[in-house]
Amino acid sequence: MSSKPIGVFDSGVGGLTVSKEIMELLPHEAIVYLGDTARVPYGSKSPETITRYAFEGLKFLLSMNVKLVVIACNTVSATCLKELQNNSNVPVIGVIEPGARAAVRTTTSKKVGVIGTERTVKSKVYESAIKEIDSEIMILSKACPLFVPLIEEGWLDKEATYLTIAEYLMPLKKEGIDTLVLGCTHYPLLKPSIARVLGEEIKLVDCAKETARIVRETLESMGLLNQGDLPYEEKHKYYVTDNPEKFKEIGERFLNKKIEHIEKVRL
Amino acid sequence: MSSKPIGVFDSGVGGLTVSKEIMELLPHEAIVYLGDTARVPYGSKSPETITRYAFEGLKFLLSMNVKLVVIACNTVSATCLKELQNNSNVPVIGVIEPGARAAVRTTTSKKVGVIGTERTVKSKVYESAIKEIDSEIMILSKACPLFVPLIEEGWLDKEATYLTIAEYLMPLKKEGIDTLVLGCTHYPLLKPSIARVLGEEIKLVDCAKETARIVRETLESMGLLNQGDLPYEEKHKYYVTDNPEKFKEIGERFLNKKIEHIEKVRL
Q: Is the pLDDT score of B232 beyond 80?
A: no
How high is the pLDDT of residue A40?
Answer: 85
Contact A243, B46 (CB under 8 A): yes
pLDDT (average), residues A106-113: 97
Segment A72-108, tens digit of pLDDT: 999 899 899 999 999 999 999 999 999 999 999 999 9
Q: Å from B38 to nearest chain A CA?
A: 6
Select which of A73, A80, A144, A207 is catalytic.
A73
Domains of chain A: 6-94+209-264 (3.40.50.1860), 96-208 (3.40.50.1860)
Buried residues in A32-58 as b, exposed as e (16+ CB within 10 A): bbbbbbbbbbbbbbbeebbbebbbbbb
Residues of chain B contacting A242 with CB distance shorter than 8 Å: 44-46, 49
Segment A160-191, tens digit of pLDDT: 999 999 999 999 999 999 999 999 999 999 99
Give the C-alpha separation, B125 to B131, whole Å: 10
Q: Is the pLDDT score of B234 beyond 70?
A: no
pLDDT (average), residues A14-40: 95
Measured distance between the N- and C-terminal CA atoms of chain A, rounded to whole angstroms: 30
pLDDT (average), residues A248-255: 94
pLDDT (average), residues B248-252: 95
Q: Is the pLDDT score of A43 beyond 80?
A: no
Interface test with B, best of A146, A193, A245 (most B CBs within 10 A): A146
Give the C-alpha separation, A168 to B67, whole Å: 46
Give the C-alpha separation, B12 to A8, whole Å: 29
pLDDT (average), residues A122-147: 95
pLDDT (average), residues A12-38: 95
How high is the pLDDT of residue B147?
Answer: 96
Question: Is A122 near chain B, with CB under 8 Å?
Answer: no
State yes or no: ipTM above 0.90.
no
pLDDT band at A2; cut points 50, 70, 90: confident
Does residue A184 carry a catalytic annotation? yes
CA A107 from chain center: how many Å? Answer: 21
Give the C-alpha separation, A9 to A7, whole Å: 7
Check CB contact under 8 Å for A46 and B150: no
Check CB contact under 8 Å for A163 and B167: no
Check CB contact under 8 Å for B158 and A159: no
Q: Is the pLDDT score of B198 beyond 60?
A: yes
Q: Is the pLDDT score of A122 beyond 90?
A: no
Q: Which residues pair with A35 in a beta bridge?
A: A10, A240
pLDDT (average), residues A31-36: 97
Q: Is the pLDDT score of A202 beyond 90?
A: yes
Q: What is the mean pLDDT of chain A?
A: 94
Residues of chain A contacting B242 with CB distance shorter than 8 Å: 44-46, 49
Per-residue H/E/C for chain B: CCCCCEEEEECCCCCHHHHHHHHHHCCCCCEEEEECCCCCCCCCCCHHHHHHHHHHHHHHHHHCCCCEEEECCHHHHHHHHHHHHHCCCCCEECCHHHHHHHHHHHCCCCEEEEEECHHHHHHCHHHHHHHHHCCCCEEEEEECCCHHHHHHCCCCCCHHHHHHHHHHHHHHHHCCCCEEEECCCCHHHHHHHHHHHHCCCCEEEEHHHHHHHHHHHHHHHCCCCCCCCCCHHHCCEEEECCCHHHHHHHHHHHHCCCCCEEEECCC
How high is the pLDDT of residue B123?
Answer: 87
Give the C-alpha separation, A113 to A106, whole Å: 12
How high is the pLDDT of residue B45?
Answer: 81
How high is the pLDDT of residue A233?
Answer: 54
User: Could you tell me the CA-to-CA distances from B239 to B39, B61, B143, B188, B244 in Å, in that order?
Assistant: 14, 10, 29, 22, 8
- Which amino acid belongs to residue A178? D
pLDDT band at A235; cut points 50, 70, 90: confident
How high is the pLDDT of residue A42?
Answer: 84
How high is the pLDDT of residue B51?
Answer: 96
How high is the pLDDT of residue A92?
Answer: 98
How high is the pLDDT of residue B46?
Answer: 84
pLDDT (average), residues A6-26: 96
Contact map slice: B 36-55 vs A, CB within 8 A: 37-40, 44-46, 49
Q: Is the pLDDT score of B95 beyond 90?
A: yes
Could you give the maximum distance between any two Cα atoms of chain B, in Å?
51
- Alpha helices by DSSP H, chain A: 16-25, 47-63, 74-86, 96-106, 118-123, 125-133, 147-152, 159-174, 191-198, 207-221, 244-255
Q: What is the mean pLDDT of chain B?
A: 94
pLDDT band at A45; cut points 50, 70, 90: confident
How high is the pLDDT of residue B231?
Answer: 58
